[in-house]
Amino acid sequence: MSINRVHLWAILGASLFIRLISLGAYPLMDTTEARYGEMARLMTETGNWLTPQFDYGVPFWGKPPLFTWMSASGIEVLGINEFAVRLPHWIAGVVVIFLMAYFARKLGFSGLITAVVLATCGVFSVSAG
């Protein structure tokens, strides 16, 4: 049995769906994820979207604020929970997967294989959501 495009699209879809439903299934795991989640929560609570804060009145300039803005936008829409913190990053990861497939399309079948490999890679999946 050979793998065709339908099989690859099914694997890609299943991989993305499984990751989506698991976004809120476990707590914020490491200190970095928790720190940025808390910074996003503070951003929405204080209304200060320009200066990320590590604690009330303590600015955090260690990284550019895009990551925090993404999490804060999820919190604004969905409330304060793990799913809301992770969803914007999962969406960005899905966009990366499809952009990669689009740019690799000139390689033919290998472009879709590339997207499936990225989507099923555990490190990418966890880092992107």
At 23-75, the pLDDT tens digits run 887 877 778 888 999 999 999 999 999 999 988 989 999 888 999 999 999 99
Which residues form the domain of 35? 5-127
Lowest-pLDDT choice from 7-16, 81-90, 110-119: 110-119
Q: How far is CA 84 from CA 19, 24, 36, 49, 64, in A?
A: 14, 8, 12, 17, 20
Cα 25 vs. chain centroid, distance in angstroms? 15
Structure-model confidence comparison of residues 16 and 111, the more confident one: 16
Q: For the segment 93-129, what is each residue's pLDDT rounded down to a tens digit?
A: 888 888 887 877 777 777 778 888 888 887 877 777 6
Give pLDDT, residue 1: 53
Measured distance CA(7)–CA(29) in Å, rounded = 33
Domain count along the chain: 1
4: pLDDT strictly greater than 80: no
Burial class (CB in 10 A: 0-12, 13-18, 19+), 22: middle
Q: Could you identify the residue written with the tokens 């952009």?
A: 99
